[in-house]
């Protein structure tokens, strides 16, 4: 099968904060239709990689290309073809969802009326039609997450970067958002997401990239990773490859310190 052109190409990406390398030579490429689970322990360098691709972090070494162009070439045009859901975001609490989403849509080049019309229907479909004109300050965590997800997709981006996209969502909403991700991928969009929920990553990713201390230590489909491992679950593979084999002991020690007489 003829392979389409890569939408993300990263070569020997290195990033140093103070004297410490937090990315130590990342190489990866992603293609249309892929759902890539980018996973790793806390502090492994996942957000840093994504922020570099978004143009939010500079000062890196190596090459990062999106849609075939070096993002350091000074042309920010690629940003209109990507969407982003950060792990935590300051939404404009004083705006209504309608004002916020229309504003974001306009930033991405949609006409105000079109953005408003599209946002209203998407909010309605996620069960938030009722609060479309309410202030975001009054929204629960899950409601805010839905607004963020909608804001990242309003302009129908080619590549979606999602950081813990299911954070705060109830079980029904999780099913809907997972299905939305699959359908977008089937329609040729690329989804590059980070999550710590291994069961979800295992099920929905077409490819899983595991990083630890700024290096890729596994890259392949879940089936491929499983073949190379004795573990039957992604959680087991993750724990083995990132060196955690004493969680019970650690938990016992932790609890015994918690229970010490003060």
CB atoms under 10 Å from CB of 17, counted, come to 11
Q: Considering the rule CB under 6 A, would residue 6 count as an interface residue with ligand ATP? A: no
The 75-94 contact track toward ligand ATP, x by CB under 6 A, reads: --------------------
Residues 146/111, Cβ–Cβ less than 8 Å: no
Q: Considering the rule CB under 6 A, would residue 48 count as an interface residue with ligand ATP? A: yes
CA 79, CA 152: separation in Å to the nearest integer? 12
Q: Considering the rule CB under 6 A, would residue 45 count as an interface residue with ligand ATP? A: yes
Is residue 253 exposed (0-12), middle (13-18) or buried (19+ Cβ within 10 Å)? exposed
Q: Considering the rule CB under 6 A, would residue 244 count as an interface residue with ligand ATP? A: no
> For tokens 């950060």, what's the residue?
86
Q: Considering the rule CB under 6 A, would residue 37 count as an interface residue with ligand ATP? A: no
Residue 215: both structure tokens together: 């290096």
User: Quick one: which of 4, 11, 12, 43 contacts ligand ATP (CB under 6 A)?
Assistant: 43
Which listed range, 38-46, 154-162, 200-208, 228-236, lies at the site for ligand ATP (CB under 6 A)? 38-46
As beta bridge partners, residue 29 has 9
Residues 189/157, Cβ–Cβ less than 8 Å: yes
Which listed range, 46-54, 136-144, 165-173, 216-224, lies at the site for ligand ATP (CB under 6 A)? 46-54
Q: Considering the rule CB under 6 A, would residue 242 count as an interface residue with ligand ATP? A: no
Residues at the contact surface with ligand ATP, assessed by CB under 6 A: 17, 22, 40, 42-48
């Amino acid at each position: 099968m003829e392979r389409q052109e890569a939408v993300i190409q990263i070569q020997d990406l290195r990033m140093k904060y103070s004297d410490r390398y937090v990315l130590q030579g990342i190489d990866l490429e992603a293609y249309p239709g892929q759902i890539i689970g980018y996973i790793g322990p806390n502090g492994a360098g996942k957000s840093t990689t994504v922020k570099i691709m978004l143009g939010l972090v500079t000062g890196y070494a190596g090459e990062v290309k999106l849609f075939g162009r070096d993002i350091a070439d000074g042309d920010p045009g690629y940003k209109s073809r990507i969407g982003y859901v950060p792990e935590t975001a300051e939404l404009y609490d004083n705006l209504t969802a309608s004002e916020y989403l229309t504003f974001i849509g306009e930033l991405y080049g949609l006409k105000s009326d079109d953005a408003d019309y599209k946002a209203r229907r998407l909010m309605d479909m996620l069960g938030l039609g009722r609060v479309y004109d309410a202030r975001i300050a009054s929204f629960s965590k899950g409601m805010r997450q839905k607004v963020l997800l909608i804001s990242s997709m309003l302009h129908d981006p080619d590549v979606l970067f999602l950081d813990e996209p299911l954070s705060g969502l109830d079980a029904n909403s999780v099913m809907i958002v997972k299905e939305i991700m699959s359908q977008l991928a089937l329609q040729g969009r690329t989804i590059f997401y980070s999550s710590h929920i291994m069961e979800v990553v295992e099920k929905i990713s077409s490819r899983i990239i595991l990083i630890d201390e700024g290096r890729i230590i596994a890259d392949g489909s879940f089936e491929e990773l499983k073949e190379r491992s004795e573990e039957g679950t992604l959680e087991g593979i993750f724990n083995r490859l990132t060196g955690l084999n004493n969680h019970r002991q650690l938990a016992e020690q932790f609890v015994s310190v918690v229970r010490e007489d003060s």
